[in-house]
Amino acid sequence: MTNKRSALVLIDLQKESNFGLDDMDSIIENTKKIIPAFREADIPVIYTRQINRVDGAGLSKGEPLNEDGTPYFYNAASDQIEIFDEIQPLDSDIVIDKYRWSAFYETSLDLMLKSLNVEHLYIAGVVTDGCLMTSVFDAYFRDYQINLIHDMCGASNEGAHQAAMLTMTNWVYNMKIFSTDELMKKLNGEAHQYFQADQVDQMQFTADTMQAKFNEITNPTSSTTV
Amino acid sequence: MTNKRSALVLIDLQKESNFGLDDMDSIIENTKKIIPAFREADIPVIYTRQINRVDGAGLSKGEPLNEDGTPYFYNAASDQIEIFDEIQPLDSDIVIDKYRWSAFYETSLDLMLKSLNVEHLYIAGVVTDGCLMTSVFDAYFRDYQINLIHDMCGASNEGAHQAAMLTMTNWVYNMKIFSTDELMKKLNGEAHQYFQADQVDQMQFTADTMQAKFNEITNPTSSTTV
Amino acid sequence: MTNKRSALVLIDLQKESNFGLDDMDSIIENTKKIIPAFREADIPVIYTRQINRVDGAGLSKGEPLNEDGTPYFYNAASDQIEIFDEIQPLDSDIVIDKYRWSAFYETSLDLMLKSLNVEHLYIAGVVTDGCLMTSVFDAYFRDYQINLIHDMCGASNEGAHQAAMLTMTNWVYNMKIFSTDELMKKLNGEAHQYFQADQVDQMQFTADTMQAKFNEITNPTSSTTV
Amino acid sequence: MTNKRSALVLIDLQKESNFGLDDMDSIIENTKKIIPAFREADIPVIYTRQINRVDGAGLSKGEPLNEDGTPYFYNAASDQIEIFDEIQPLDSDIVIDKYRWSAFYETSLDLMLKSLNVEHLYIAGVVTDGCLMTSVFDAYFRDYQINLIHDMCGASNEGAHQAAMLTMTNWVYNMKIFSTDELMKKLNGEAHQYFQADQVDQMQFTADTMQAKFNEITNPTSSTTV
């Protein structure tokens, strides 16, 4: 794999994000496995962290507060805002603190990516239907080609996770969807599989077909290439 | 109703957007009904239009092209980019052309809203899971209080529409969801109903419960106020 | 000259901008001369226009108003907002309307430049110390290499023009300063001269030295290369 | 004085900024004097810091490098990036790190100011013609009313300082210019003086008149109000 023009972006893999998300253990396990492969390939690793100031400056509208007026979630004074121990950033990594769901909103992420000549974004994290999805759309608007690692993403509920994955597939053109294992193969220069839609808004679904459509994008078989 | 600090934003209600979306006729009908009520209340009406330049400058990555290299969708040279005849903007309305899904991305929408002292955004349009949803999230990041008019929104498929509505309900704090009829009552100063989540990430769902959860937010009964 | 990755950006060369600016006739004359050379080299030509809506939506704070509340300057209803007749844009050119001094503030300029793979910006227009200078700084922040065409820029007063040129020279690293004639040579593949500072904040000045320092950057001799 | 809707923003008052700037001692002294008055009035105090990562990620184009490839200026690993000891921020203050001259470019400054309901920005720092001026223009574009504290600003050279002050006076409508002493009076609810231009582009100048024009704005007499 050429490591040129790529970066790995990990959205909000913070201790506090483990508020009952599905599959958090395997998300951490997969992330722990893939990070060394990116480092080996000399591809920058970037972490984001959701932060709310103790004094409430910069809070999103309607953000829940404690009785003393401090933010209920992602309080900057809590050690729960730190990245999970198993996947701690190195000093040389880039860590972007953010105050809104999207990792691009009033942060230096885009200027960092541009200075690193990044075209291809490998991205994952939580929650699929919130910070991850809004970051993916914002990356797409800025002309990055997106590569989603689906089993390193998670939500509090199966429906939101599946629907967000389908929605991104439909409206983020040129997006590729990898599993951790298949991406490991790619990073190792081996044959691998990923899903990419053939056409715009391809993954239309109803409640009845959502699971099957989701399976299509996460278990590519005939529709993928090596 | 106080008309202070409000605006109506209509996302991409362009002739070309009628590419087989569900319920487009009733979306137009509802929009046609509600616009005069906003004008009556002296609330600004803002339209957005998706545009792709004929020469391809500014195109999103992966945007489909015709054989001659011109954009397949929303070609600026086509009269299909115009707003539907039934709901044509007045000269005094604001029309924002945009090149990405979100109506805020590199457009003057935010500076317009700020100069109009807008805090409360009434928003609707198509597609629910694309331009509408990304615009709603971007508005939320900029501290607007969002009011979604659910039966003036539409998608190409039922699942995407329902899931996007639930996702916005979960992650856009303080968002209210109206039907056209209930919003008409509000604009007329009458008792009315809307849905607003009581807590963060409230509308968790699976394929089995998506329809029922969607019904909860679009048919508020006991959970709403007057 | 390679035409790859370049664009010409002309700031606010609108009829109304001729409010007594120094040297406007020669600015237009020079612009008229250089545009065909850029077209010949297949380099995109982009115009910006300052616009104020008749109803005042989006006005800058403190913008002067007429007695009837309409904007005093750059009123969208006036034909004075059009580009000078001598240098009218073609249909195929990009014209960016803007509501703030900087051509990048809430406009599509950056996404246009990125989609055209522009790295090198050739830029000029009016006023040197306002829209031109703020656009240059914003371009620099976005990692474009700037090339200023000094005799296609102008201000209402000599001091502001000279000081703004020196300020940009000091703080826009890697900026080159051309005269129209020297840039014509470059576009024609001939030997040519330009000024580029050797070090950061090089052009320090006082009232006594401002004219001489300005002469240095606009009349490169020994300090320039071919 | 009403403290509502105001903030004090101090641009790059970092140890490294003392690279031979004029009057740095008095800038620090004035800043040290005014900060307690803002705190007393319960007005937020915000500091910005220019930062260059050791590994060069996010560097501006053309930023000077050491032989080992690390940034020559504002290296994040140096304690020279800290705020001057005499005016150290409190834990409760907001400190914004930035990678470009403007304090608004890809930082959280604007969302902080908005959440604090700020309309009136009191701003000062270094260098007048670089980070200070580009931050002031960016604040103006975002509809803040600007109040410049001229003797808490400085540049490496007299001409750049004077010209930048005049340029901001000309193009940042509604801007007021205070001295530290007069602003202290205002914060104490006493009669005070400031300069504000009566009309657009009022302070036109040549090399011969620059000093006199500068004196007009920094020594308001008849032209100011109480």
Residue D208 backbone dihedrals phi, psi, to 5 degrees = -70, -30
pLDDT in tens, B48-101: 999 999 999 999 999 999 999 999 999 999 999 999 999 999 999 999 999 999
> Average model confidence (pLDDT) for chain D?
95
Task: Output the pLDDT for position D41.
Answer: 94
Task: Output the pLDDT for position A226.
Answer: 47
% residues pLDDT > 90 (chain D) = 92
* Inter-CA distances, B124 with B22, B82, C146, D26, Å: 14, 17, 41, 55
Q: Which of these, C225, C219, C217, C191, lies nearest to C1 by C-alpha position?
A: C191
Residue C57 backbone dihedrals phi, psi, to 5 degrees = -65, 130
Report the residue of chain D nearest B111, measured CA to CA: D142
Chain C contact present for D157, CB below 8 A: yes
Decide: C126 and C132 in contact? Cβ < 8 Å.
Answer: yes
CB atoms within 10 A of CB A124: 27
Least confident range from B70-79, B216-225, D133-142: namely B216-225
Task: Output the pLDDT for position A20.
Answer: 82
Q: Which of these, B11, B5, B14, B3, lies nearest to B148 by C-alpha position?
A: B11
Interface B–C counts its CB contacts (< 8 A) at 50
Q: Give me the residues of chain C with pLDDT under 70, please.
A: 1-3, 222-226
**H-helix or E-strand containing C102?**
none
Cross-chain Cβ contact B111/C106 below 8 Å: yes
pLDDT in tens, D66-123: 999 999 999 999 999 999 999 999 999 999 999 999 999 999 999 999 999 999 999 9
Q: Which of these, C55, C57, C38, lies nearest to C46 by C-alpha position?
A: C38
How far C48 CA lies from chain B's nearest CA (Å)? 14
Residues of C in contact with A143 (CB under 8 A): 111, 114-115
* Inter-CA distances, D32 with B21, D8, D13, D25, D49, Å: 62, 13, 11, 11, 17
ipTM over 0.85: yes
Cross-chain Cβ contact C58/B112 below 8 Å: yes
Nearest to B129 among A170, A206, A211 (CB): A170
% residues pLDDT > 70 (chain D) = 96
Q: Give the C-alpha separation, A32 to A26, whole Å.
A: 10
| C 12-31 residues with CB < 8 A to D | none
What is the DSSP secondary structure assignment for residue C82, as one 8-state letter?
S
Nearest to A62 among B100, B157, B173 (CB): B173
> Average model confidence (pLDDT) for chain A?
95
| D 78-97 residues with CB < 8 A to B | none
Task: Output the pLDDT for position D44.
Answer: 97
How far C219 CA lies from chain B's nearest CA (Å)? 36
Chain B contact present for A56, CB below 8 A: no
Determine the straight-line distance between the first and last CA of chain D, rounded to whole angstroms: 13
Domain boundaries of chain C, sorted by first residue: 9-218
Is the pLDDT at D2 greater than 70, yes or no? no
Task: Output the pLDDT for position A22.
Answer: 78
pLDDT in tens, D198-220: 999 999 999 999 999 999 999 98
Confidence at B1, pLDDT banded by 50, 70, 90: very low
Instruction: Map chain D to HEC letters.
Output: CCCCCEEEEEECCEHHHCCCCCCHHHHHHHHHHHHHHHHHCCCCEEEEEECECCCCCCCCCCCCECCCCCECCCECCCHHHCECHHHCCCCCCEEEEECCCCCCCCCCHHHHHHHCCCCEEEEEEECHHHHHHHHHHHHHHCCCEEEEEEEEEECCCHHHHHHHHHHHHHHCCCCEEECHHHHHHHHCCCCCCCECCCCCCCCCCCCCCHHHHHHHHHCCCCCCCC
Least confident range from A75-89, B17-31, B119-133, C203-217: namely B17-31
Q: Where are the beta strands (DSSP E) in chain A?
A: 6-11, 45-50, 94-98, 120-126, 145-154, 176-178
Is the pLDDT at D174 greater than 90, yes or no? yes
Is the pLDDT at A146 greater than 90, yes or no? yes
Is the pLDDT at A140 greater than 80, yes or no? yes
Decide: C158 and C46 in contact? Cβ < 8 Å.
Answer: no
Mean pLDDT of D161-172: 98
Chain B contact present for C111, CB below 8 A: yes
Report the residue of chain B nearest A199, measured CA to CA: B64
Task: Output the pLDDT for position C20.
Answer: 82
Confidence at D1, pLDDT banded by 50, 70, 90: very low
Cross-chain Cβ contact A111/D44 below 8 Å: no
Report the residue of chain B nearest A132, measured CA to CA: B171
Confidence at D225, pLDDT banded by 50, 70, 90: low
Chain C contact present for B58, CB below 8 A: yes
* Inter-CA distances, C161 with C30, D156, D167, Å: 17, 20, 10
Q: How far is CA A42 from the centre of its chain?
A: 20
Q: Which of these, B153, A132, A115, lies nearest to D55 by C-alpha position?
A: A115
Task: Mention every residue, 6+ apart, whose C-beta is less than 8 A from residue B66.
Answer: B72
Task: Output the pLDDT for position B19.
Answer: 77
Chain D contact present for A57, CB below 8 A: yes
Which subunits sit against D, judged by 3+ Cβ pairs under 8 A?
A: A, B, C
Chain A contact present for D71, CB below 8 A: no
Task: Output the pLDDT for position C225.
Answer: 52
Best to test chain C binding among D12, D16, D61 (most C CBs inside 10 Å): D61
Nearest to C114 among A111, A115, A143 (CB): A143
| B 170-189 residues with CB < 8 A to A | 170-171, 173-174
Which subunits sit against C, judged by 3+ Cβ pairs under 8 A?
A: A, B, D
Task: Output the pLDDT for position B18.
Answer: 81
Structure tokens at B12: 């991409």
Chain B contact present for A60, CB below 8 A: yes
CATH topology of domain B9-218: Rossmann fold (3.40.50)
Residues of C in contact with B55 (CB under 8 A): 92
Report the residue of chain C nearest D20, measured CA to CA: C201
Length of chain A: 226
How far C208 CA lies from chain D's nearest CA (Å)? 7
Decide: A151 and A31 in contact? Cβ < 8 Å.
Answer: no
Residue linked to tokens 């929303």: B74
Task: Output the pLDDT for position D223.
Answer: 45
pLDDT in tens, A64-82: 999 999 999 999 999 999 9
What is the DSSP secondary structure assignment for residue A115, as one 8-state letter?
H
Q: Is C203 helix (H, G, I), strand (E, B) or coil?
A: coil
Confidence at D22, pLDDT banded by 50, 70, 90: confident
Decide: A87 and A52 in contact? Cβ < 8 Å.
Answer: no
Summary count for chain A: helices (H), strands (E): 6, 6
pLDDT in tens, B160-189: 999 999 999 999 999 999 999 999 999 999
Interface A–D counts its CB contacts (< 8 A) at 50
Task: Output the pLDDT for position A107.
Answer: 98
Bigger pLDDT: A168 or C225?
Answer: A168
